[in-house]
A and B are shown apart, each in its own frame.
Chain A
Amino acid sequence: MYCKNCGVKLDLSLTKCPLCGEKVKNNNSYNSLYSLDIDYLAKDISIMYFAKLIILILFLSTIVTIVCNLAIDKRISWSFYVIFSFLFIASHYFYLSTSKRKVCFIVNTFSLELLLFIIAYLNKGLNWYLYLVGPFILMGSIFILFINFISKFKNILRNISYFLLFVAIILILINGLISLYMVNKFILNWSYYSLISLVVVASILFGLSFNKKCMTEVEKRLFI
């Protein structure tokens, strides 16, 4: 089959001349050269692209909030919350942009602390923040970092004993901080019992961890 305009011979699968668009009658409309299925560009949206988009949208809405706030109150009052919440969310961008998870974790802990501090400060609740929320979040993050750190050692029993000791220290701190908040004094009462029992168990495990036979038995049953 030839195209009467262009003079070129057309493949049997073509129903029109791809050069000039002239329609031709072809009996064989089956295209053996190219599939009928269509390929699409990367199906999954890039996470980075998505994150940038969300941050941009939030940034714009934050600006709008500030403008509204200024228009109504003639000063920045309640939009402080929005600004700092935006900064907090934007700091999560670190999680995506780098592969250094630990650095991201620390950055995010501090941005969370900062956000809560500002909320507490604006609400005149610094007491509540300084003795309870701030230290508790800090302890929680240190605890996670500590577990991450000890998980690199292979000796399971020794790891458990370190873990128990750390728990004991945290319990003491919790006990002290609560009393500091309630009665303005660092008093320990119930944490003595947990300290003693945990230290005893931890030291037994620590001792056993040097026993090779015992270790293999434990490893056999407890490997992750």
Chain B
Amino acid sequence: MNNKNKDMTWLKLDNAALIYPATINRKIATMFRFTVTLIDEVDMELLQKALDNIMKRFPTFNYALKEGFFWFYLDLIKDSPKIGQDYQNPLVRINWKDNKNYMFRVRVHHNRIAVEYFHALTDGTGGLTFILTLVGEYIKLKYNINYKYNNLVLNPNDEVLDEEIEDSFLRYAKKSGKMDKEKRAYHIKGIEENANIINIITGKVSISKLKKICTKYNASITEFLTSLILESLEEISKKEINCNKPIKVSVPVNLRKIFNSSTMRNFSSYVNVGIKVDKNGHSFEEIIFEVKRQIKEMTTKKKMTEKISANVNLAKNLLIRIIPLFIKKRIMSLVENRVGDGYVTTTLSNIGLVKLPKEMEQYITDINFILGKSKGKSGSISAVGYQDTLYITFSRKIKEAELERLFFTKLVKMGLEVEIESNR
């Protein structure tokens, strides 16, 4: 079936995206951001041209979020997005009107190109593919080079596949699903900053050196980082009196790697990895053993199918469908506060190593990935690897940087050199 035959003037939200619009408030919308730093100052006009060139390759990015009577939907925008300047405090809630109703925005500061996405539009993989395709097109226009396209840098002139605009959740969901029962998790307390402010700290670590340490523990980088975060969180929670809630880190899972899909819309889930707090504390080896076991157990294809099926079936439930949106979104917002953010202490989203065509790599010095604020959590952690550097970014809405300090000093004590960048 060719997508040209379909009515594309409006779309339904994909299953994972349903929750995000409902949880928006005046101050916070679930957002994330990718940045790519180039060797030269960015030419805004050329970048605008590159953006115009690639928009037709990403048809699902051309939609605005609208409210129907029962559900939110995506409405086609007959306009083109404009590039703006970047700010010290990124990821401030998108104001739809100022942004021509687009759910993403492209911003530039000197050598750095940033794209910020509202999560209902796409997930990390979709967002990364979009910014890299944009940067690829820009480099092609500016330096007049040719390179071989790959799965992250798409050819803007290629035909859009049906698969890229589909809601893959619907394809892989089965009739019955099951959600795991969970307990409320520990939350870091702190003094909340002004609504505009987000504190960002990025630590740059050598991947090859980090891998050597990981092999010592026989763990992957994600497992190692999760364990180190849990260890730091345990130290913080111990200072509180009578803290008996478990510490949990939510680790997003890219479902494209488990199921066969190349959609540009949301297709990710998560697993909540955690430890119970006890008086004696855990050794790092104990934590890493527990993390490895839990991740292995929860990321099986069977478990993931159960999880997405439960979500899809919930959205298909007639009783839920007939509730008008203005009531439904309040319920969803309450549920998300309790279930989504309530069950986890923080999030660690590791997008993995970014592999670019060699001709492109010489023009790109850094790639970074930052998660925005959320209502219930004090902060989030994200990681992305490029060449030999792993960029571990902590974003938080509170003043205290205790978790960051513990985490990075632990890395330093393990013998790694950590280079710190910050927006404050």
A interface residues with partner B (beta carbon < 8 Å) = 3, 6-11, 13-14, 17-20, 31-44, 46, 49
A6 engages B405 (CB within 8 Å): yes
Which partner residue on chain B sits nearest A14 by CB separation? B422
Report how far A31 CA is from B412 CA in the complex, Å.
24
Q: Is B53 an interface residue (CB 8 A)?
A: no
Min CB–CB distance B225 → chain A (angstroms): 16
B420 engages A40 (CB within 8 Å): no
Chain B 101-126, CB within 8 Å of chain A: the 1/0 string? 00000000111100000000000000
Which partner residue on chain A sits nearest B409 by CB separation? A6
Task: Tally A-B pairs: CB < 8 A.
Answer: 100
Report how far A6 CA is from B409 CA in the complex, Å.
6
Contacting residues, chain A, for B404 (C-beta < 8 A): 18-19
B111 engages A32 (CB within 8 Å): yes
Min CB–CB distance A171 → chain B (angstroms): 43
B95 engages A42 (CB within 8 Å): yes
Say which size band chain B's interface belongs to. 35 or more
5 A–B contacts, CB within 8 A, in A order: A8-B420, A11-B422, A19-B201, A37-B85, A49-B26
Contacting residues, chain A, for B279 (C-beta < 8 A): none
Contacting residues, chain A, for B89 (C-beta < 8 A): 38-39
Min CB–CB distance A180 → chain B (angstroms): 46
Contacting residues, chain A, for B95 (C-beta < 8 A): 41-44
Report how far A58 CA is from B37 CA in the complex, Å.
53
Q: Is B40 an interface residue (CB 8 A)?
A: no
On whether A42 and B196 interact (CB within 8 A), knowing A7-B409, A8-B409, the answer reads: no
Report how far A80 CA is from B167 CA in the complex, Å.
57
B408 engages A8 (CB within 8 Å): yes
On whether A10 and B26 interact (CB within 8 A), knowing A33-B112, A34-B109, A41-B196, the answer reads: no
A34 engages B423 (CB within 8 Å): yes
Contacting residues, chain B, for A17 (C-beta < 8 A): 420
Report how far A6 CA is from B417 CA in the complex, Å.
11
Contacting residues, chain A, for B90 (C-beta < 8 A): 34, 39
Q: Is B97 an interface residue (CB 8 A)?
A: yes
Min CB–CB distance B68 → chain A (angstroms): 12
B419 engages A11 (CB within 8 Å): yes
Of the candidates A14, A34, A42, the one whose C-beta lies within 8 Å of that of B420 is A14
Q: Is B86 an interface residue (CB 8 A)?
A: yes
Of the candidates A10, A37, A41, the one whose C-beta lies within 8 Å of that of B88 is A37
A42 engages B26 (CB within 8 Å): yes
Min CB–CB distance A57 → chain B (angstroms): 19
B87 engages A6 (CB within 8 Å): no
Report how far A13 CA is from B88 CA in the complex, Å.
13
